[in-house]
Amino acid sequence: MDDELNALRRTRMRWNTPLSEAHASVLLDRLDLGEGPHLVDLGCGWGELLLRASERAPALRVTGVDADEVALARGRSAARERGLAVEFTSSDAATWDTPVERAFCIGAAHVFGSTKAGLAGLARVVPSGRLLYGDGFWAAPPNPAALEIFGPDTLTLPELVDTAADAGWRVRHLSVADQLEWDDFESTSRAGWEEWLAAHPADPRAGEVREWLDRRLREYVRDYRGVLGLAYLVLTR
């Protein structure tokens, strides 16, 4: 897909994770932003949660790191519109090597290679402080299709917690996305393209967009709804 359509697909999404406003507020509370002078979001996308953190703690130095230029442009535009001094950096998040006191890494462990490698690498990023870590887990035994979509390295929730402990983290907070959060996430991930498709049915790209939308909905309701979970851990060292 071209950059125009890639940007359009996410226009109805608040953030690129299954998370409600109320749940996000709880996570930011648990992160205790006032005690950390520098917050970095590794794999920030357009950084909406990062912007919320900056609004809560204006004295905080805030940096988002991602390789997706389309998402970064959206984040920079939002920061300007809201008068927030948030820096968005185009880089491979796994190469960040400056220690900070607070960090986010939500749905981005894959940039390190695996959950285990991600939690170990993030321990070097946050040698002392708090990390908000979000990752998928099997909430129910996966069928072969779900395994193919998400890969064999996805853990169960107990395995995820054990992996964090093995990397030297302590769990200060644990919560998981509920079904409404997941349904809203999946619906908004399709909404931008559904609106575009309704307005441009004869566009040469319409067939490819329609195929993607139909496949995504089919996979969600048949293969991983209620099977794939998303855990949010606030971790300390």
Q: What digits encode the pLDDT tens for the residues 128-184?
A: 999 999 999 999 999 999 999 999 899 999 999 999 999 999 999 999 999 999 999
Mode of pairing for the β-strands spanning 86-90 and 61-66: parallel
Q: Residue 102 and residue 125: Cα distance in Å, rounded?
A: 9
pTM, two decimals, is 0.94
Q: Which amino acid would we find at residue 209?
A: V
Residue-wise pLDDT tens digits, 91-107: 999 999 999 999 999 99
Confidence of residue 4 (pLDDT cuts 50, 70, 90): confident
Determine the topology of domain 13-178+228-236 in CATH: Rossmann fold (3.40.50)
Rg of the Cα atoms in the chain: 18
| Residue 156 φ then ψ, to 5° | -80, 170
What is the predicted pLDDT for the residue at 114? 93
Work out the percent of the chain whose per-residue pLDDT is above 90. Answer: 92
DSSP summary character for residue 229: E
Report the C-alpha gap between 104 and 117 in whole angstroms: 16
- Quickly state the pLDDT bin for 199 (edges 50, 70, 90): very high
67 CB-side CA count, 13 A: 8
- Tokens 């697909």, residue located: 9
Residues 29-59: b if buried by 16+ CB within 10 A, e if exposed: ebbbbeebeebbbbbbbbbbbbbbbbeebee
- In the predicted structure, residue 2 carries a pLDDT above the cut 90: no
Contact yes or no for 72/51 (Cβ under 8 A): no
| Distance from C-alpha of 14 to C-alpha of 16, rounded to nearest angstrom | 7
Domains of the chain, residue spans = 13-178+228-236
